Amino acid sequence: MLRYMIFTAIALLCAPLFPAESWGEEASDAEKLDLEEAVSIALSLGDPTVTRFEERASALGDRAIADSQLADPQMTFRMLNFPTDSFRFGQEAMTQIQVGLRQAFPRGKTLSFTRERREAEARIERAKLRLQERDIALNARDVWLELYYWINGRQKVLESRQAVSELVEVATATFATGRQTSQDVLRAELELSILNDRVVDFERRIDIMRAELSRLVGKMPASRPLATFLPVLTVPSPRDVLRDKLSQHPAVTANDATIEVRQRNIDIANEQYKPGWSIDGNYGVRGGDRADFATVGVAIDLPFFTGKRQDRNVSASKRERQAAVLDRDATLLELNKVLERTYADWRRLDERISLYEKVVIDRASETTDAALGAYRSGVSDFAELIRARLAELDAELTLLRLKVDRAQAQARLLYLEGI
């Protein structure tokens, strides 16, 4: 009766608890979603976070043309010196109807500098567009790699779960001979339950990462199986070359364009010390046989009192430019920190992966085999056998995690390089 109950418990624990896709037929290579295809799809979807920058840049390009034009001319119409006793047009010699035009001209090269400022603002938006595209590519690579880890990690846990199920059979057979107690069987059932929980957790993580991938590439591509093997990413340039390329990073070029905007503000502020002027012409028509009048005039601004207006504007513009320079320096400093940290991480992960592949995995497998042999021979207990098998699983998961971490670090280096 006890033996029947044990086998019933084993059957329930080993029943399929997980989606059919975990055990389904292998998809063809054409149906699988590889890393670069995911990146390509993510960049081609017309993400509003990208297209908004293009719209802003186009708007600023239009403003650059509009803001660099002269102000519209003004037309004036006057009725001058009409007699109030009769309001007759020809009664008095000075009565006239006057029509005029006036055109204003801004100070110095204000219009030219204004156009250059708008063009620099458009370059800021285009730099932000390129930065957003890089961010999307990096995010797609990172999410794809993370999903790859959880899918393949789940498979390793399932394989380990199957191995523990076989150990349950060994424990049950040993228990049936009376050489061991039911504690070994109960311990095996406990480990099976823990592995079941790990698989459920892996499934949860897979669902989360598929949702993240769906946001980037769409629901249909995200539901496809992933490529079987980790992709071979482009090898990043040497560290010194990467450091030199940081000055062309979109975040830095956006700062460069901001500095130019601030410089144009200084130029415009300096132009305000120069006089602006306007010209106007009028033609006055008189009644009777009297001669008509023509008038031409020029008005000039007199910027005499500059202490609280022009001087302050120039000072403020210079401080804003200096702040923009400091922003650029801070951006470069942060990018350099990311480069140094990521490059070191990438290199050290190579060393750890080599150690695991050459030593740790083999030792873990040999330890499991030795523990199984010792248990069957009655030299060691069942707990030691379980520990060896779970240690082998942990080693395999760690190696997979290291490989994915290395690929993610490499993706970040390619992001800094612009690949």
Whether residue 23 is predicted with pLDDT greater than 50 in this model: the reply is no
Whether residue 237 is predicted with pLDDT greater than 70 in this model: the reply is yes
Domain containing 239: what range?
Answer: 2-10+33-70+106-272+309-417
The rounded distance, in Å, linking the Cα atoms of 393 and 364 is: 9
CA distances from 265 to 121, 287, 391 (A): 12, 53, 65
Q: Are 108 and 6 in contact (CB under 8 A)?
A: no
Q: Is residue 20 domain-resident?
A: no
Q: Are residues 130 and 149 in the same domain?
A: yes
Band (89; pLDDT cuts 50, 70, 90): confident
Q: Are residues 180 and 93 in the same domain?
A: no
* Mean pLDDT calculated for residue range 108-124: 93
The predicted-structure confidence for 136-187, as pLDDT tens digits, reads as follows 999 999 999 999 999 999 999 998 888 878 777 766 766 666 555 667 677 7
Q: Are residues 323 and 378 in the same domain?
A: yes
Instruction: Calculate what percentage of the chain has a pLDDT beyond 70.
Output: 89
Whether residue 335 is predicted with pLDDT greater than 70 in this model: the reply is yes
Q: Are residues 184 and 260 in the same domain?
A: yes
pLDDT at 130: 93
Instruction: Calculate what percentage of the chain has a pLDDT beyond 90.
Output: 53
Band (124; pLDDT cuts 50, 70, 90): very high
Least confident residue range of 132-136, 158-162, 371-375, 401-405: 371-375
Q: Is residue 16 domain-resident?
A: no
Band (209; pLDDT cuts 50, 70, 90): very high
Selection from 53, 212, 218 nearest residue 148 by Cα? 212
Q: Are residues 177 and 255 in the same domain?
A: yes
Q: Are residues 194 and 286 in the same domain?
A: no
Q: Quick one: three-class SS letters along 59-95? A: HHHHHHHHCCCCCCCEEEEEEECCCCCCCCCCCCCCC
* Mean pLDDT calculated for residue range 387-410: 92
pLDDT at 283: 92
Selection from 99, 73, 75 nearest residue 292 by Cα? 99
Q: Are residues 313 and 267 in the same domain?
A: yes
Q: Are residues 83 and 175 in the same domain?
A: no
Q: CATH number, domain at 123?
A: 1.20.1600.10
Question: Alpha helix (H) ranges present in 14-109?
Answer: 35-44, 48-66
Q: Are 321 and 266 in contact (CB under 8 A)?
A: yes
pLDDT at 308: 86
* Mean pLDDT calculated for residue range 13-23: 40
Q: Is residue 129 domain-resident?
A: yes
Q: Is residue 24 domain-resident?
A: no
Amino acid found at 380: S
Q: Which two tokens stand for residue 211?
A: 């949702």
pLDDT at 26: 53
pTM of the entire predicted model: 0.80
pLDDT at 171: 65
CA distances from 273 to 108, 304, 306, 311 (A): 9, 9, 8, 9
Q: Which two tokens stand for residue 380?
A: 């060691």
Q: Is residue 21 domain-resident?
A: no
Q: What is the count of structural domains for the chain?
A: 2
Who has greater pLDDT, 88 or 254? 254
pLDDT at 7: 37
Q: Are residues 51 and 174 in the same domain?
A: yes
pLDDT at 20: 36
Band (13; pLDDT cuts 50, 70, 90): very low
The rounded distance, in Å, linking the Cα atoms of 69 and 115 is: 9
Q: Is residue 404 domain-resident?
A: yes
The rounded distance, in Å, linking the Cα atoms of 41 and 136 is: 10
Q: Are residues 134 and 237 in the same domain?
A: yes
* H or E element that contains 126: helix 110-176
Who has greater pLDDT, 245 or 47? 245
Whether residue 285 is predicted with pLDDT greater than 60 in this model: the reply is yes
* Mean pLDDT calculated for residue range 377-390: 77
The predicted-structure confidence for 288-305, as pLDDT tens digits, reads as follows 778 888 999 999 988 888
Least confident residue range of 112-126, 170-184, 213-227: 170-184
